Chain A
Amino acid sequence: MKQSEFLKLVMPFKDKVFRVAKRMLVSTEEAEDATQELFLKLWKNKKSISKYKNLEAFAMTVTKNYCLDRLKSKQAGNLKLVHSNYKEKETSLDKKIEAKDSVSKVHEIIENLPEQQKLIIQLRDIEQYEFHEIEEMLNIKQTAIRVSLSRARKTIREELLKQHNYGVS
């Protein structure tokens, strides 16, 4: 397989991989590294790529595992993820959205969700994957995914409600 063919194959989901990695690792730099790493891995295994029915789902699985490994090694090393993109993110949202506080609040709430719920919210509500695709990516039963997703959505909503009421009173 030539490099150009390969790129054509993976281009459609490069942003999704990046966003999922960023959701899990928080830092933009870390997410970029993770994305590069993933594509390099796929490129090295280009011979077996055709074996996968759904390359995108496979890529997501690899990304997820890579990120979990990263997080584990960071925790084991007792290091915090260093990231400098909080501010940047907020200002870019500032400009675009009027309800800036509550929107960045959503970001914060999702950040505090358990790892799995965070991932499922990302895959379903942002990347808009079907449940059977998420099932393939995470190797979790659809019913379990729905339970997690429902829990996550309710948590976010409740947190937002709290915020909202606090703002009103």
Chain B
Amino acid sequence: MELANIEKLLEKYLNAETTIQEEKQLRLYFTNDEIPPHLQEYKPLFNYFEESKNDNFTQNIRLNTNENKETRWKWLSVAAMLILFVSVYTFIQKKKEYEAQEAFAQTQEALKLISTNLNKGTYAAIVHIESIEQNQSKIFKNPKQ
């Protein structure tokens, strides 16, 4: 393509008025090695654009992994909740049991105290009665005999 035409296209290019087709012409022109000095600065520009098109996405598109991850997290959280509930439940149960045992022990203790005291009481009473009987027998010397 003649130089005048290229210059005109470049002018249009800078004003963003070129069509895709015209821009392709420019690209093609600047792959050429013999560029007039006053247009040198355009060469790296168009070369760069051409070069940049070769940067490709090389990974495989993953459509499942993240979803799996998500469901895994979901199940993990469910399991964690379950463990939490079970442990809280057993804790409460254990506490209740402990409290019951405590109460049982306390009542037992109380009952023991009462019973020992009661025993003491009967013993004292028996001693008393015996002493009364003795005294009585001292005072009333065999009244019936």
Interface residues of A (CB under 8 A from B): 3, 6-7, 10, 14-15, 17-19, 22, 32, 35-36, 39-40, 43, 93, 96-97, 99, 102-103, 105-107, 124-128, 130, 145-147, 149-150, 153-154, 156-157, 160-161, 163-164
Contacts and interface: CB of A to CB of B under 8 A. Distances in A.
Contacts of A14: 57, 61
Nearest to A23: B52
B20 interface: yes
A130 B20 contact: yes
Contacts of B59: 32, 35-36
Top 4 A-B pairs, shortest CB-CB distance: A102-B44, A18-B57, A150-B16, A106-B48
A156 B63 contact: no
B75 interface: no
Interface of B: 13-17, 20, 23-24, 40-45, 47-49, 51-53, 55-57, 59, 61-63, 66-67
Contact of B44 (A6, A36, A105, A125): A105
A93 B51 contact: yes
Given A19-B52, A161-B41, A125 B57 contact: no
A6 B62 CA distance: 12
A3 B67 CA distance: 14
B44 A43 contact: no
Given A103-B48, A106-B44, A36 B61 contact: yes
A97 B51 contact: yes
Contacts of A154: 14
Nearest to A121: B49
